Amino acid sequence: MVEEKVKSIIDSLSNSASDNFTDTICLSLAKAIKADFVFVAKLNPERTIATTVSLATNNVIKENFSYHLKSTPCHNVSQGEMCCHTSQAQELYPDDQLLIDMGVVGYVGVPLKNSIDETGAILVALYLNPIESEIEVTSLFMLFSGMIIKEMEKQELIDVLYTRNKIIEESSDAIIVCDKDYKITSVNKAFTRITGYSFKEVEGESPNIFASGNHDKRFFKQMWKDITKNGTWSGEVWNKKKNGQFFPEHLSINTIYDENNNIALYVGFFIDISKKKKAEQEIYRQARFDLLTGVANRSFFMEKLSLAVTSFKKSEQSALLLMDLDLFKEVNDVHGHDFGDELLIKVSNRLQSLTKSTDIVARISGDGFAILLNNVVDDEIINNIITRIFSSFSECFIINNISIRCTLSMGVVLFQDGKDDVSTLIKKAEYATTHAKDNGRNSFSYFTQDMQNKVYRQFVLKKALSEALNNNLLTVVFQPIVSLAEEKVSKFEALVRWKNDGVWISPEEFIPIAEEFSLIKKLGEFVLGETCRQLNILKSQGYNNIQFNVNRSVYEIPLNRSENDQWLTVIEQYGLKPSDICFELTESALAPDKRNNERLFNQLKAAGCAIALDDFGTGYSSLSYLRRIPVDYIKIDKSFIQDMSTNAEENILVSTIIAMSKSLGKKTVAEGVETKEQLQQLTELGCDFIQGYYFSKPLPCEEIINFLTEFKY
């Protein structure tokens, strides 16, 4: 009887149209042993939950389900034991709700163990009536359990292989497989998408059909040497697509060995890195070249200049040509910035056309250009290039049908021995350029010994000034400012003085040095602190209506809005009110591109500080600035005051400034007043305050109280 049932099960398996073995075996077993339910279930790693993979009942396959093994007969089976109850299954397992819900009476379960004797699945038969032949059921289950395990393991392997193949096929990386003879045996979709070749077109071919010709034999010889030695290689390669287009790829090649450690396959993985290369080139271009003109930018030029300085040849010299476009600001003002940009592009093109490919042309500032002439044999070659440049720039530029002549002011520095660093060379070239501008523009100037002496003095003074600031060797003096209406001293301007090795250094010399070498902030902090300290002393003596003016350089103004309260903090630290201080600023601080400046001035004004515009008429004069910036005082530069008694034009200019200031609600302060005649003229013109030697020279702090006590208008 059992033999017939075995034969019927085998016939069912042989004749089944289904590819699912477990479905077929469950249906066949259920029919052979007359079970109401037969299922195969997989166990989770903890063996606490079973999930059916095939469930047969009434000659059909039902939907799979999961159930907990605790308090069920399947729990025993999951532990590797066969379990059989011909009847009373519900009574034996009263907590097994599934048996109750299904009305199960008889139960047979066998473990399905793998090759290492671990139970990973179970085979179960359920009966709604008592089992007629326990031996028959268990015999058939034991007989086919091994087959079921093998088929399940086979299916798992197939699933793994399918998943891996799917991953390979759907990978965004192109994959190409070659046999040991370097013939293509397989490719994936990404390969076809990137190269344009289908598998049929490349099957059996050598990967050499993709060669771009960009790599020589040595490249491939080294590549295969690495593969032979290490079993792998990776790097960038240029290959060719089906349409003939060359493209860069990042390629990795791995060697696959068989069980005897012989080469079986070569597997290549590659991605098209065209976009990456393009992005890298764009980053390279943006980092090294000016976006508007296409010539080298300042950073790249400095890099090349540094290289030229450190790799000079004794028999040759190099030259640095630094140049500014003359009156370029006026071009922008008249024709607009788009026109100015187009002019910069044409200037760059013209300069490049006049130099060799080994020379470097760069745009290093708004209208500033530089040329590095590398390895020049003699001075005559340099002079010829300079001559060609100035001759070329005598010809007009045509932009939007407008003809415009643009000239240059050029500074030239020769270098050969590598003694000067890059910053020193640039400084020398700037001095020479300034000299060319002072000579009337449209000219060039070589850096000379006199300029060298000036550079050296500047270096010495910079070092000495830094030491003086660190050791508090500077002093602050105070020049009275007299109110004409009240005929009394109402303000003092704080002025810094420096005696270096017994010699007084003019502020006109050391303040620009402080600005250039980033010492100005420390200098300004020193002056503000000393001024506040002296004013605090003055207030303690009962002088509560005196305001002190403190000069601040445009280079002291914070770049970040978060630092705008620094000046006010110093005032508060000395127990003063913001209204005790008037900050003097030059017109350059009002230029429209200084965006944080405007926020700072408004913040100071809101806090109570006064603001004075110093040296009016010598900088970025603009009524729009005065309307936008909260200026309280306009200080008329002393150069206008000195000649107003003898020069009618200067008198008219001063008169105009005073009238304009009154119309804007600003008070005026005349600087550099030295004669009674100047005082009378300014009084008649309605000037508000006078400052100058007529009333007093700048005073040391210990003389202020005595001066105020004895002052008579």
Residues 479 and 409 in one domain: no
Same domain, 190 and 156: no
* Same domain (yes/no): 600, 538: yes
612 and 486 share one domain: yes
Closest by CA position to 108, among listed 33, 9, 13: 33
Domain-embedded: residue 452 = no
Q: Are residues 644 and 631 in the same domain?
A: yes
Which are the contacts of 637, defined by CB distance < 8 A and separation ≥ 6?
Answer: 615, 616, 617, 618, 671, 672
User: Residue 536's closest CA among 584, 572, 490?
Assistant: 572
- Domain for residue 495, yes or no? yes
In which domain, by residue range, is 259 found? Answer: 172-277
Residues 437 and 555 in one domain: no
Does residue 227 fall inside a structural domain?
A: yes
Provide the token pair at 74.
């399947």
Q: Looking at the structure, tell me whether residues 130 and 201 fall in a common domain.
A: no
CATH of the domain at 643: 3.20.20.450
Domain final position from 245, 277, 309: 277
Does the reported pTM lie above 0.85? Answer: no
Considering 103, 135, 167, which residue would you say is the last residue of a domain?
167
Per the CB < 8 A criterion, the answer to whether 30 and 57 are in contact is yes
Contacts of residue 685, Cβ cutoff 8 Å, sequence gap at least 6: 654, 655, 658
The span from the CA of 469 to the CA of 477, in Å, is: 16
Is residue 284 included in any domain, yes or no? Answer: no
Domain of 179, CATH number, reads 3.30.450.20
pLDDT of residue 589: 65
Q: What is the pLDDT of residue 173?
A: 85
Q: Are residues 610 and 465 both part of a single domain?
A: yes
HEC states along 221-288?
Answer: HHHHHHHHHHCEEEEEEEEECCCCCEEEEEEEEEEEECCCCCEEEEEEEEEECHHHHHHHHHHHHHHH
Q: What is the mean pLDDT of each successive set of 10 residues along the chain, which is 713 residues long?
A: 75 75 90 92 93 93 92 92 92 91 93 88 94 87 85 78 69 87 90 91 90 86 89 91 91 89 90 85 83 92 89 74 91 89 95 91 94 84 91 92 92 83 89 88 87 81 93 95 94 95 92 90 94 94 93 85 86 94 81 68 92 73 65 90 80 89 91 93 94 95 93 87
Looking at the structure of the chain, the number of domains it has is 4
Answer whether residue 283 is part of any domain. no
134 and 48 assigned to the same domain: yes
The answer as to whether 282 is a domain residue is no
Asked if 495 and 549 sit in the same domain, the reply is: yes
Q: Between the CA of residue 267 and those of 2, 56, 229, what are the distances in Å?
A: 53, 45, 16
What CATH number is given to the structural domain containing 414?
A: 3.30.70.270
Residues 644 and 700 in one domain: yes
Question: Can you give the CATH number for the domain in which 24 is found?
Answer: 3.30.450.40
Query: Are 161 and 177 within one domain?
Result: no
The strand ranges marked E within 326-387 are 360-363, 368-376
Helix (H) or strand (E) holding 29: helix 21-33
Measure the CA angle with vertex 453, ends 450 and 456; round to 5°: 155
Domain end among 420, 447, 474: 447
**Contact status, residue 682 vs residue 673, Cβ threshold 8 Å:** yes
